[in-house]
Structure 1
Amino acid sequence: MHIERVELITVRMPLIHPFTTSFSTQTERRPLLIRVTASGQSGTVTGWGECVALAEPFYSPEYLEGAREILRRFLVPALFDWQAAGRPVAAATVGSAIEHVVGHRMAKGALEMAILDAELRLQNRSFAAHLGVTRASVPSGVSVGIEKSVPDLLAQVGDFVAQGYVRIKLKIKPGWDLEPVKAVRERFGDIGLQVDANTAYRLSDAHLLRRLDPFDLLLIEQPLGEEDLRQHAHLARLVSTPICLDESIVSAQSAADAIALGAASVINIKPGRVGGYLEAARIHDLALAHGVAVWCGGMLETGIGRAANAALAGLPGFTLPGDISGSDRFYANDITEPIVMKDGEVAIPSTPGFGVEPLPAALADMTVHTLDLTS
């Protein structure tokens, strides 16, 4: 495969409803898309990647402007240098071409994603087929932010339950935990329910988190700091609700450490956070081998990322519903044909690559910045 062109395209997508976590309130997303034009024996294709870095470095050290700069100055030039040296360019070689750049997994993962999409399109093969996925759809869960009041929360959850979502995830923080969980469980009965703290607690808050045990939650996600593996292992012995790690898992190596320490019985795999879909698949394989459940988390992706996440979640180790909601959960208009949740499931695309691409009119309307990095 020969890379002909690489472009960075930033789009602006207002959220239907503000999404609040323990660290920020978002009213819009500005996804950074990567468009790769590549050629091979079967012709010329376009591959798409999506960087999940947020506008500010509150969820992770990476952020939108930084990701764009890393791609512009270091990652894309390194890929062109690799190609100019006569080395093969493929999704499997992207990691080697850019490994000298320390960190920046979200930016790296987006570049690998675009190359993978182009490679699979040249092969006329879907991402699901590449992974060996045989199922046609995956169960759809939805994430609900921290609302202004419990009645507002119940109204939000009620709407999602009526739509058919099979699992609800509530964002929590100290002072917004027991009351909303209790209210949702009492109102909606035995629906699949889990909570996400986004590192908002400390080990000294174990007594607070233990009060969630009676509500039969699927898991408590990332209650402590991302580097606190030992503390998570200790917390897991103090509460009966399963502990799930999110921000702590940035690679297969960190997943192996967490499993060995007993810090997590569940892992949330976000492909962008761990450096791409190939590393995400490796984490899945590792967890499956150790009997640790995994599920696919979301980062308010466009249809590009949602389609890819749906295929990944079709692997056998993904035994819990992921944050693979329909496009209309967040956006009035997606950049692609909308991803649709029907009867609690999202279909896995079966067409080449990730199976979706931006609609030209939507792309033109939403684009706020473009940069051509062609060497």
Structure 2
Amino acid sequence: MQIMEVKLHQLKIPLKTSFKTSYGEMDAKEFLLIELIDCDGIIAYGEVEAFARPDYTEETIETAYNIITTFLIPGLQNWQFTHPQDFREKFKWIRGNQMAKAGIEMALWDLYAKKKEVSLQELIGGTKQKVAVGVSLGIQENETALLNTIRRYVQKGYQRVKLKIQPGKDIRFIAAAREAFPNLTLMADANSAYKVSDIVLLKKLDQFNLAMIEQPFSEKDFIDHAELQKQIKTAICLDENLRSLEDVRQAHLLGSCKAINLKLARVGGYSEALDIINYCHQNNLLVWCGGMLEAGIGRAHNLLLASREEFVFPGDISASSRYFEEDIICEPFELIGDSLQVPKGFGIGVTLNNQVIKRFLKNTKTMVLR
């Protein structure tokens, strides 16, 4: 296989409602859509999920754009490959920048499946036809607003709800949610908002029967997470500080967590993600599929990954309508019960809605590699 042309589309789609976490607030999803065209004219797609601000990780949409246009796309010039896993080895010299790499790597997997005329699901070992999903809720103004928001999504069919928390909006909010919804699967996500001095406070979350507490401490930390995990019954889940299989292995051996939030974008794509899944399965670590407010292409990739049997906990994938009035694909994902249907067809199984893309397109850069 050989890539002949790359189109890099910059888009910005407004969110239906703003999404607030401990590190900031978003009212639009800004992202890069990758379009690869091979020597046979086959078109494949990936999505770059880096945010506009370096508050989730140090990577941003601007740094990703720079890495892609300066190093990754030129590196594809005259490159002939037999499998998308070759990409990881070829570009391992580029340190970090996992989201930039993931956008290209995911598109290569889509291309590979389309060349073979099979679903990408088959190539990555997925088997489920539908995937149970949860919903992630941003920090609300008060308990009443929180309960109303939870109620709205439970009525839509979501059976697992993740609540973003931060100091001052944690114990009271979780207590109110648990009292109102005693049987609902609840979890809390701190996005690194706490310090080790907050362990006494975090231990109070044990009383609320949470499925897990996600990333309470720094995105660089494993030691403090391990100390907290020793002192609480609730499972700790790690997110921001897991960028590779090596990170997952370190977290496991130190006892830093009992669960892994796996995001394709954060670990550089499928090749690393599949290795992480295998490691988690072998070592009894719960692994589930996280989300980054993806548009339709990224959401399709997530669903395909989450269709593997190892994913038994509902992920943060959600229906397209959770975030957007309009999605960039012609087959927006709709909630049926508590699940989304896994895309069928060759590759990732979805097609672009060009009318929507034109409305939200900021810029397109085309690079010809012939």
Instruction: Spell out, residue by residue over 1:308-347, the C-alpha distance to the aligned partner (whole angstroms, 9 max, x if none).
Output: 1111112222121100100000000001121111100011
Paired residue for 1:209?
202
Aligned length: 368
**Aligned mates of 1:228, 1:369 — CA distance in 2:** 37
Asked if 1:363 is matched to 2:357, the reply is yes
Counterparts of 1:179-198 in structure 2 under 5 Å? 179-198=172-191
Q: State whether residues 128 and 309 of structure 2, in contact with CA within 8 Å, keep that contact through their aligned partners in structure 1.
A: no
Counterparts of 1:200-349 in structure 2 under 5 Å? 200-336=193-329, 337-349=331-343
Q: What fraction of aligned residue pairs are identical, expressed as a percent? A: 37
Match of 1:74 among 64, 68, 71: 71
> How far off is 1:96 after superposition?
2.1
Structure 2 length as normaliser, TM-score? 0.97
Q: State whether residues 113 and 276 of structure 1, in contact with CA within 8 Å, keep that contact through their aligned partners in structure 2.
A: yes
**Aligned mates of 1:124, 1:49 — CA distance in 2:** 18
SS at match of 1:94: helix
Q: State whether residues 127 and 309 of structure 2, in contact with CA within 8 Å, keep that contact through their aligned partners in structure 1.
A: no
Paired residue for 2:60?
63
SS at match of 2:325: coil
Amino acid at match of 2:91: I
Asked if 1:36 is matched to 2:29, the reply is no
**Aligned mates of 1:281, 1:166 — CA distance in 2:** 26
Q: State whether residues 6 and 36 of structure 1, in contact with CA within 8 Å, keep that contact through their aligned partners in structure 2.
A: yes
Amino acid at match of 1:105: Q
SS at match of 2:136: strand
**Aligned mates of 2:291, 2:206 — CA distance in 1:** 25
Paired residue for 1:163?
156
CA-based RMSD of the aligned residues comes to 1.1
Asked if 1:19 is matched to 2:28, the reply is no
Instruction: Spell out, residue by residue over 1:3-57, the C-alpha distance to the aligned partner (whole angstroms, 9 max, x if none).
Output: 1111110111000010000001000011111100113xxx431100001100010
Instruction: Spell out, residue by residue over 1:223-254, the C-alpha distance to the aligned partner (whole angstroms, 9 max, x if none).
Output: 01122101111110111110000011110111
Counterparts of 1:61-210 in structure 2 under 5 Å? 61-80=58-77, 83=79, 87-88=80-81, 90-210=83-203
> How far off is 1:79 after superposition?
1.8
Runs of 5+ consecutive residues of structure 1 not aligned to the other structure: none
**Aligned mates of 2:351, 2:109 — CA distance in 1:** 14
**Aligned mates of 1:44, 1:326 — CA distance in 2:** 31
SS at match of 1:27: strand
**Aligned mates of 1:332, 1:363 — CA distance in 2:** 13
> How far off is 1:89 after superposition?
5.3
Instruction: Spell out, residue by residue over 1:82-110, the C-alpha distance to the aligned partner (whole angstroms, 9 max, x if none).
Output: x1xxx425311111222221110100011
Amino acid at match of 2:338: G
Amino acid at match of 2:231: L
> How far off is 1:149 after superposition?
1.5
Q: State whether residues 48 and 357 of structure 1, in contact with CA within 8 Å, keep that contact through their aligned partners in structure 2.
A: no
SS at match of 1:236: helix
* Structure 1 residue runs of 4 or more that deviate by more than 4 Å after TM superposition: none
SS at match of 2:77: helix
SS at match of 1:12: strand
